[in-house]
């Protein structure tokens, strides 16, 4: 059994940072109190919890009372869609949580271009007088493609102003799922122009099953879980104190190290991409090479079985993905690759490499050598 894997799937999950774990630890035992209780130790825990929420809000340019804590991005997305009744617009490369929620509403699914980028004019054309929500991921989890969110926000702002002039009282909101962007991009709600924003702790070296939904003060949310009235009555249940305190620390670290990490990951990714293309000129890079996350590399090797390659690499101690973790778990073809019109031959030979805190120059070079070596063996086997 290989114990020391080279992990190249940070988009699927990240380890909890030791600094995050350290700030969480006291709240599992010594500071275990229910923050809704009236006695002093519980009041102190409530203060710590509220301060963590304030930190989360400040780091994205929001206010504490605009933050709803959830059990992750999927729940945050469900909360958004369950709070609208009108027409919604999403792209065909959104996460399954968004696509499946959209199908429960009157909806339009717009097409992206061959790079996986949403065209602003396509979004504008899809808006009707009854459109209430546009939901866009800041960066795609498979391709790493960064979307023109600010430009889409301007379209929403213009539509809102036009409705005011025309007496149309239907509100229109822009929801941005920034789960894949934090730590590599500047995620500020005002800068993005978002009305709602989703974040996921488990993608930024924080604990899993912790997320948030930021909602501007003018957005009305419907209660997701009915109970004791926690989280402004939107999401009842005893607060996950340790998780939220860890989330706040993880986001703080992500924001503090963003610039450095962005450059570091881009250097490692470019090394891997250049060497793989040099060894296999027929390889295809999917998505935009200009507008993508620094740690993302989606590359296809025509004629190769990507799933077979994944398991071969696992045997050699290298962990990669063939697409999103959700799609891989279901054994289905990537809807993202279908959306950008990738042929079956190329799609079947694709792997997704996502770099992160466990990546360094030494193990990236080693992983690259192993991938090249195993691919050469596979091509040789296919030629026989």
Each residue of 108-154: pLDDT tens digit?
999 999 999 999 999 999 999 999 999 999 999 999 999 999 999 99
pLDDT in tens, 257-309: 999 999 999 999 999 999 999 999 999 999 999 999 999 999 999 999 999 99
Q: Which residues contact 260 (CB under 8 A, 6 or more apart)?
A: none
Strand (E) or helix (H) holding 199: strand 196-200
The pLDDT of residue 328: 47
Question: Alpha-carbon Rg of the chain, whole angstroms?
Answer: 22
Neighbours of 40 (CB within 10 A): 9
Residue range 44-70: mean pLDDT, rounded? 97
The pLDDT of residue 324: 45
pLDDT more than 70, % of the chain? 97
Using an 8 Å Cβ cutoff, are 29 and 241 in contact?
no
> Could you tell me the domains of the chain?
6-15+258-383 (3.90.1150.10), 18-256 (3.40.640.10)
pLDDT more than 90, % of the chain? 92
Average predicted confidence (pLDDT) for the chain: 94
The answer to whether residue 317 scores a pLDDT higher than 50 is: yes
The pLDDT of residue 383: 87
Structure tokens at 178: 């920034």
CA neighbor of 69 nearest in space, from 55, 83, 88: 55
The answer to whether residue 1 scores a pLDDT higher than 90 is: no
Structure tokens at 241: 């104190």
The pLDDT of residue 331: 56
The answer to whether residue 366 scores a pLDDT higher than 60 is: yes
pLDDT in tens, 190-248: 999 999 999 999 999 999 999 999 999 999 999 989 999 998 989 999 999 999 999 99
Can you tell me the distance from the alpha carbon of 384 to that of 378, in angstroms, rounded to the nearest whole number? 10
The answer to whether residue 65 scores a pLDDT higher than 70 is: yes
Using the 8-state DSSP alphabet, how is residue 198 labeled? E
The string of DSSP codes covering 122-156 is HHHHH--TTEEEEEEESB-TTT-BBP-HHHHHHHH
Q: At what angle do helices 361-383 and 258-279 cross, to 10 degrees?
A: 30
Q: Which residues participate in catalysis according to the annotation?
A: 326
């Amino acid at each position: 059994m290989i114990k020391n894997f080279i992990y190249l799937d940070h988009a699927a999950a990240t380890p909890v940072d030791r600094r995050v774990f350290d700030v969480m630890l006291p709240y599992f035992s010594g500071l275990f109190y229910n923050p809704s209780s009236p006695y002093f130790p519980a009041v102190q825990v409530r203060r710590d919890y509220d301060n963590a929420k304030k930190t989360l809000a400040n780091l994205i340019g929001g206010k504490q009372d605009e933050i709803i804590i959830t059990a992750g991005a999927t729940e945050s997305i469900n909360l958004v869609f369950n709070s609208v009744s009108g027409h919604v617009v999403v792209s065909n490369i959104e996460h399954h949580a968004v696509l499946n929620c959209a199908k429960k509403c009157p909806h339009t699914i717009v097409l992206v271009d061959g790079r996986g980028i949403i065209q602003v004019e396509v979004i504008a054309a899809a808006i009707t007088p009854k459109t209430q929500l546009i939901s866009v991921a800041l960066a795609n989890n498979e391709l790493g493609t960064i979307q023109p969110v600010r430009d889409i926000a301007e379209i929403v702002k213009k539509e809102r102003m036009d409705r005011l002039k025309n007496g149309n009282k239907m509100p229109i909101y822009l929801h941005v799922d920034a789960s894949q962007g934090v730590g590599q991009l500047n995620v500020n709600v005002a800068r993005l122009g978002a009305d709602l924003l989703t974040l996921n702790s488990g993608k930024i070296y924080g604990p899993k099953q912790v997320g948030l939904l930021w909602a501007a003060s003018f957005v009305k949310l419907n209660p997701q879980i009915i109970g004791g009235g926690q989280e402004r009555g939107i999401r009842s249940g005893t607060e996950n104190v340790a998780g939220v305190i860890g989330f706040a620390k993880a986001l703080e670290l992500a924001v503090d190290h963003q610039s450095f990490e962005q450059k570091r990951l881009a250097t490692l990714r470019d090394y891997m991409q250049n060497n793989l293309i040099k060894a296999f000129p027929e390889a295809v890079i999917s998505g935009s090479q200009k507008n993508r996350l620094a740690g993302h590399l989606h590359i296809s090797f025509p004629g190769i079985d990507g799933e077979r390659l994944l398991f071969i690499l696992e045997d050699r101690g290298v962990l990669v993905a063939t697409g999103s973790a959700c799609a891989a778990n279901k054994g289905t073809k990537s809807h993202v690759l279908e959306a950008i019109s990738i042929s079956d031959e190329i799609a079947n030979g694709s792997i997704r490499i996502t770099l992160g805190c466990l990546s360094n120059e030494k193990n990236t070079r080693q992983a690259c050598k192993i991938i090249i070596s195993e691919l050469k063996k596979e091509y040789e086997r296919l030629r026989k």
